[in-house]
Amino acid sequence: MNAEKDRRDVRKHRLPVNDEGFYGDGRFGGAFVPPELENNIRELADAYYEAVGDEDFMEEYRRLLRDYVGRPTPLYRAERLSRRYGTNIYLKREDLNHTGAHKINNAVAMGLLARRMGKRRVIAETGAGQHGVAAATVCALLGLECTVYMGETDIERQRPNVERMRMLGARIVGVKSGTGTLTDAVNEALAEWCRNPAETFYLIGSAVGPHPYPEMVAEFQSIISEEIKAQVPLLTGKPLPDYVIACVGGGSNAAGAFFHFIDEPSVRLVAVEAAGHGVDTGEHAATMTVGSEAVLHGSRTLVIKNGAGETAEPYSISAGLDYPGVGPLHAWLAASGRTTVLAATDSEALAAARCLTRMEGIIPAMESSHALAALDKLSFDPDDVVVINLSGRGDKDMDTFLSCCGA
């Protein structure tokens, strides 16, 4: 099968990205990797385009999404929340997936790709632990060796997911460098890939990194918006939602939620970043709000910097949003004005989580709570259809919720 033809076909119908991995007008994206990874990147790209053009591969992927992950996930009308805000609020229930988050969508596909490429050893990074659990789950399913890199800070604040990964057979490598969070875990995973490129498959969890990773993650998460687009007319009688809202750290769940609406200008896409203690405090992860262009983890994107012009240490109460950059797709969507970018503080996200819990009986992940906080920052018409991607469940965050909010 011709990999170049597959590449053209996938891109023609999916994302606005060129052969070098740059999005839109060419400002963001690319593959800035050391020489020892160049062959791996080319091998990965060719394998990816061949796989998505292979009906047998895609059929197995779809079968596992249906029978193992539990898709499609419901698009749930939140009645009490809708009355509170005077509009029609629907939650895309990615928290009901096997493993409790959207991360499994991408992990299943990449696990199948690793097996197809003959790789027996998988490495992954994780912040909140949701991607680590998904990677460990898929490796257990497919009989692959799994090593997960996780910052020591995140290991302490996301202990339930750490124990799940270990029970699934994954080896956890605690990262002590930097602040011991997601940025440092990505650094260590990339370093390990450089040390052992031939035998290792890097199962990245967010829409970041060198091309083709951002495109791959968006493609394998696009099932989210594919389902939303089919569900909205059935549930509301309207052809499209008026709003799709998602939290953004690196951007995997938002890439999936926005994917099939990028070329639908009537749909307002809202990306919600982590404002931490406030975007004017220096303690935040609001990359699209205050970031500037730089190369981070192999792609040119928007990055938050300190006074010395170096990549700043991000901060968020949410381990999954605690990242100093954003995927190049989101950098382009923000810079072009296609997305509306908001930033929610820790306190706003906690309040939104408490509101959903008490009004709908659903405990959201700390990451998803940032998306929910957008409800207090936007004005809606009574007939609007507002879809919020509930990217994960909040059992991993109970210590945070209880310490900050009480019972």
- Helix, strand, or coil (residue 208): coil
Task: Give the Cα separation of 219 and 105 in Å (integer).
Answer: 10
CA distance 315 to 253: 20
Q: 103 catalytic, yes or no?
A: yes
Residue with tokens 């590449």: 7
Ramachandran angles phi, psi of 323, nearest 5°: -140, 135
What is residue 263's three-state secondary structure?
A: coil
> Count H helices, E strands: the chain?
17, 15
- Given 82, 252, 368, 391, the catalytic residue: 391
The tokens for 19 are: 């052969």
**Residue tagged 């896409």 (tokens):** 269
Active-site position among 50, 125, 188, 227: 125
Q: Is 199 a catalytic residue?
A: no
Cα(132)–Cα(126) distance, integer angstroms = 5
| Nearest residue to 315 (alpha-carbon basis) of 154, 192, 202 | 154
Residue 77: what are its φ and ψ, rounded to 5°? -80, 120
Q: Where are the beta strands (DSSP E) in 145-217?
A: 145-151, 171-175, 200-202
Q: Which of 103, 119, 229, 396 is catalytic?
A: 103
Looking at this protein, which amino acid is placed at residue 165? M
Distance of CA 133 to the CA centre of its chain: 14
Q: Residue 87 phi/psi, 5° resolution?
A: -155, -165
As annotated, the active-site residues are 103, 125, 391
